[in-house]
Structure 1
Amino acid sequence: MKFSVKKHFLLNRRTFTSAVCTLILAATLPAAAQQRRVKKAAPVCSAYLFTYFTGNQPAKEQICFAVSNDGYQFRALNGNNPVISSPAISETGGVRDPHILRGADGKTFYMVVTDMLSSKGWNSNRGMVLLKSTDLVNWTSSAINLQKKYAGQDSLLRVWAPQTIYDEQAKKYMIYFSVKHGNQPDKIVYAYANKDFTDLEGEPRQLFFNPENAACIDGDIQQKDGRFYLFFKTEDRRPGIKIATSDKLTSGYVMQSNDYVQQTDRPVEGAGTFKLNDGSGYILMYDMYTSGKYQFTKTTDFKHFKAIDEQISLDFHPRHGTILPITAEELARLTAKW
């Protein structure tokens, strides 16, 4: 076998050059490489933001904020006055049922609200408003009218209580909400938001099929231990909150039981769940809409719920809203503004 000294030298020179380049790149670009390979750590949350509306009059169908340091004692910002003008963002002039979410990047926030004035009737609204922010103070918005956007929606009567969750499989934000067509019961459906969070992609699909074919509204999804828990208000027999579960975000939801989970005999709606920052469990709260009050319950397993009314303090009267864990810096920014 012939052996070329020149060829051997060239090969070794290439190997040496490649190794040197690799070392130089590793020394000069480690931060960029790490950012590409390592998932950003989640923000350390030590406070909470409660977003809500306050009543059934136009002046009260607007977005309000309250904050808390412990998840139990909340104080309204801006004197319990709106922090975002409904006429400036909505088609109807009013908004209800705000839901707020921290994005997958940890620093972008998404809020969705029902585009509605109740004074025009409970079957009067056709859409929602999508909002986006990077600081919780300044928001961009887009109003979406489903009857105008999609064909064959002549019988659409209402679009209620949208919420957003990040679909880790699809790498998109999923918006789910209830719709009512003609004499059919309200159904919870979903669609994905576009990249800019200004519109919906594709046709809405039904998310949950109630085995009793009863009306389902006010969906709220919480993920725990690899399962998805869908809290919703059903109108069968008596209005109340039940739970359906699935190991997939967009399908396969089965009733956890036929029991109601609210800890009151009074009518309730607008379930909202959030995880406590201290790791002690989760809060399920809901709007006791005929009683003029809110009830908070605590759970660790989404099967057993205990009312904790004696631990809760609110200096305002919220209607259907949601709570987001926030950082100390975000709390300072909100209180400095309002």
Structure 2
Amino acid sequence: MKNVLLYIAFLLMVMPSCQSAKEVYLFSTFREPADKGLFLAYSFDGLNWEDLGGPWLAPEVGTQKVMRDPSVVSGPDGTFHMVWTSSWRGDLGFGYASTKDFINWSPQQLIPVMDFDTSTVNVWAPELFYDQYQKEYIIIWASTIPYKFERGIEAEDNNHRMYYTTTRDFQNFSETKLFIDPKFSVIDAVIVERGIGDYVLVLKDNTRPERNLKVAFGPSPLGPYKNISEPFTGQFTEGPTLIRKDDAWYIYYDAYELKRYGLHKTTDFIHFEDVSDQVKLPEGHKHGTIFKADRRLLKNLIKANKKAK
């Protein structure tokens, strides 16, 4: 009996490493001026990234037909869903498409989430989150509706708040609602699940002179998020995305004024360590999201990228 228990303990210990050995990190990205489409990078350790080239999908929807801030999440059936910013201004929605392999894609759609108010200036950086308990996708994004919120020193056409919608099938969407109003202009928010009833929101305070990253805490993926922190990055940082690695969270972000990527490490979202010197990314890499995929998928992408060259 003792030997059986030891064997079970051994299996429990090695199963996570076996699972991770079958997976790879992929990073969705774009290249300025964002008119070419989706680019990808990959990593086995979450720190050293190799270029996978692109574009894997060229933008076809929106007023400007760009593809900025591509956010990707894998559904329970293995389908990858992607949303993106389709125009700087003028669109009342964001782009959407899905794929199983990043080679063959569904038709692109513009999801008109802000068409209830045609004075909306923009729809920026939609971010996907899969709620495993409600079995639905949550999409959050930043929009400006002039004269709707207190603005401080921000211009009326640059005073963002976060909104959200939910869907189970990307055909039917819930009514758009306000996600968070922190009483300042906010963009680039990402939902992080730490456990049941324990969520963190990483967000950009887009006000002058802040323009940095902060965190807030909530009891559900939809909040309410409170106790907004002091900034843990310097100015001119945005586009956060996270991975869980070695019992810590690694927060990637775009330090756009310095034209490089930054990386902070935390175990509690209270204390943060700058480990930017540990990360290596392809030149020109811009912010998107990190997600996991099967190594067989990566093998096919590498093969397809070589053929395209």
TM over 0.5: yes
TM-score band by shorter chain is: 0.7 to 0.9
Runs of 4+ in 1 over 6 A off after TM superposition: none
Does residue 1:335 correspond to 2:309, yes or no?
Answer: no
TM-score, reference length from structure 2: 0.82
Does residue 1:129 correspond to 2:101, yes or no?
Answer: no
Q: Distance in 2 between matches of 1:320 and 1:222?
A: 17
Shift of 1:137: 2.6
Decide whether the 8 Å contact of 2:131 with 2:138 is kept in 1.
Answer: yes
Question: Per the alignment, do residues 328 and 57 of structure 1 end up closer, same or farther by CA in structure 2, a change over 3 Å counting?
Answer: closer
What residue identity is the alignment partner of 2:98?
Answer: K
Does residue 1:64 correspond to 2:39, yes or no?
Answer: yes
Shift of 1:165: 1.2
Shift of 1:270: 0.8
Number of aligned positions between the proteins: 274
Identity %: 25
TM-score, reference length from structure 1: 0.75
2:195 aligned to 205, 210, 225, which one? 225
Decide whether the 8 Å contact of 1:43 with 1:327 is kept in 2.
Answer: no
Which residue does 1:302 correspond to in 2?
A: 269
Does residue 1:235 correspond to 2:206, yes or no?
Answer: yes
SS in 2 for 1:66: strand
Question: Per the alignment, do residues 194 and 104 of structure 1 end up closer, same or farther by CA in structure 2, a change over 3 Å counting?
Answer: closer
Does residue 1:160 correspond to 2:124, yes or no?
Answer: yes
Does residue 1:103 correspond to 2:75, yes or no?
Answer: yes
Q: Distance in 2 between matches of 1:46 and 1:134?
A: 15
Question: Per the alignment, do residues 249 and 166 of structure 1 end up closer, same or farther by CA in structure 2, a change over 3 Å counting?
Answer: same
Q: Distance in 2 between matches of 1:99 and 1:142?
A: 15
By percentage of residues, which structure has more helix? 1
Choose 1 or 2 for highest CA Rg. Answer: 1
Structure 1 stretches lacking a partner, 5+ long:
1-41
Which residue does 1:208 correspond to in 2?
A: 180
SS in 2 for 1:72: coil
2:142 aligned to 178, 190, 196, which one? 178
Structure 2 stretches lacking a partner, 5+ long:
1-17, 150-158
Shift of 1:47: 1.6
2:105 aligned to 131, 136, 139, which one? 139
Mapping 1:1-338, distance limit 5 Å: 44=20, 45-56=22-33, 58-59=35-36, 62-78=37-53, 81-87=54-60, 89-105=61-77, 107-116=78-87, 118=88, 123-140=89-106, 141-147=108-114, 150-151=115-116, 153-183=117-147, 184=149, 185-195=159-169, 197=170, 199=171, 201-210=173-182, 213-226=183-196, 227-236=198-207, 237-257=209-229, 259-262=230-233, 265-276=234-245, 279-338=246-305
What residue identity is the alignment partner of 2:83?
Answer: V
Which residue does 1:16 correspond to in 2?
A: none
